[in-house]
A = this chain, B = another copy of it.
Amino acid sequence: MSFEVLKTDSATKARLGRLTTSHGVVQTPVFMDVGTQGTVKALEPRDLKENNAQVVLGNTYHLMLRPGAEVITAAGGLHKFMRWDGPILTDSGGFQVFSLAKLRKMTEDGCRFNSHLDGHEFFLGPKESMAMQRVLGSDIAMVFDECLPYPCERDRAEKSVEQTIRWAKASKEQPHAEGQMVFGIVQGGVYDDLRRHCAEELVKIGFDGYAVGGVSVGEPEECMYKAVDASVPYLPEDKPRYVMGLGVMHQMAECVARGVDMFDCVIPTRVARHGTAITRKGNVAIKAAKWTFDQGPVEEGCDCYCCRNFTRSYVRHLLNAGEILGLRLLTIHNVHALNRFMEDMRAAIADGSFAEWKEQVRKDTTHE
């Protein structure tokens, strides 16, 4: 397990990197595909390979509730359970406990909560989260943290950051799966000094990588960049940096320009299920009447299975008829589109054109 910065952009802080995990090498910057319940929704492992997915993200909260640790243990870990032999990153479950579950009680050790599925009571803290991530056998485990909502009062943010730091330390001290890296998570909301403080304390503890958490939680776009700017400069150059929950093309490019290496988001799979294609010209609603007779592919120039074979007219029909194949084809396209986008980004960093490339992406995808 190692991380190597292969090149740093001269005009920005963008880096080209190589993250070596127990299940293979990851080229960074990387977008990671979210497989919440042990599957990237509607896709098979072979689809992920075919569309150049590098890392799958598993959700500790969801997998702890269903199917549960015993079933994953019986399978020999998440890789074997879902038959994905590439790298897996698991989150800590903290975000879902605070957003999905009915919270019963928070203590120094963690949170007692009721499952959003059936009300069954669970306890999740640094110890339980790391134990579950050990069962999952992920290549990268995330520390248990508290993800602050937006907006959040200064008082609450201060207390929360201290809790996050203590939980990070406790998470680090737990036993981990063999070859499992552990990443810390910088919190602090919109308060620059809290972000810096949190980052510095995490670095003292020492992690294999560092995430910026608590962004993309409803705050204005500028606040997100500000949170990244308030965190990244205090993180070590030789470790990967990961902005959690982000998957919008121009926003990822902006974060990469600030020195970020990793992203994840449910966007490509979720919007596909609503009939939206992600393209280099922005999002396209394929259900729209204007595509009724359109014989072109979902995205011109795309070489995914969907675009190589089917017309907008056909995919639109499938979506309007409620056919599973429609959302599957769009999911394939969207996953392909984001992974291809990151490939192009890496190529732009490699050949020194990243700054211009990033501006072109902003113009093309936001139409601003």
Residues of chain A having any CB pair with chain B under 8 Å? 37-39, 41-46, 66-67, 70-71, 74-75, 81-83, 292-293, 295, 305, 309-311, 313-314, 317-318, 320-321, 323-325, 327-329
Contact = CB atoms under 8 A, between A and B. Distances in A.
A292 B324 contact: no
B328 A42 contact: yes
Contacts of A71: 292-293, 313, 317
Contacts of A46: 305
A82 B315 CA distance: 9
B309 A83 contact: yes
Given A293-B74, A314-B75, A320 B44 contact: no
A286 to B, nearest CB: 13
Contacts of A45: 309
A228 B39 CA distance: 45
Q: Which 4 A-B pairs have the closest CB atoms?
A: A67-B317, A42-B324, A39-B325, A74-B293
A44 B293 contact: no
A357 to B, nearest CB: 33
A42 B321 CA distance: 12
A299 B244 CA distance: 40
Query: Does more than half of chain A's interface fall in helix, strand or loop, or is it mixed?
Result: helix
A226 to B, nearest CB: 37
A324 B327 contact: yes
Given A42-B328, A313-B67, A75 B295 contact: yes
A38 B71 CA distance: 38
B323 A41 contact: yes
A81 B325 CA distance: 14
5 contacts: A38-B317, A38-B323, A67-B313, A75-B313, A75-B314
A144 to B, nearest CB: 23
A323 B81 CA distance: 15
Given A38-B318, A320-B66, A323-B39, A74 B313 contact: yes
A81 B315 CA distance: 10
A328 B324 contact: yes
Contacts of A328: 42, 44, 324, 328
Nearest to A62: B321
A292 B75 contact: no
A340 to B, nearest CB: 20
Given A67-B320, A81-B317, 19 more contacts: A37-B318, A38-B314, A38-B318, A38-B323, A39-B323, A39-B325, A41-B324, A42-B324, A42-B328, A44-B328, A46-B305, A66-B321, A67-B317, A74-B293, A75-B295, A75-B314, A82-B314, A324-B328, A328-B328
Nearest to A37: B321
A42 B42 CA distance: 9
A290 to B, nearest CB: 13
B70 A293 contact: yes
Contacts of A327: 324
Given A39-B318, A325-B39, A325-B43, A310 B83 contact: yes
Contact of A41 (B293, B295, B325): B325
A261 to B, nearest CB: 29
A122 to B, nearest CB: 17
A68 to B, nearest CB: 9
Contacts of A325: 39, 41-44
Contacts of A317: 37-38, 66-67, 71, 81
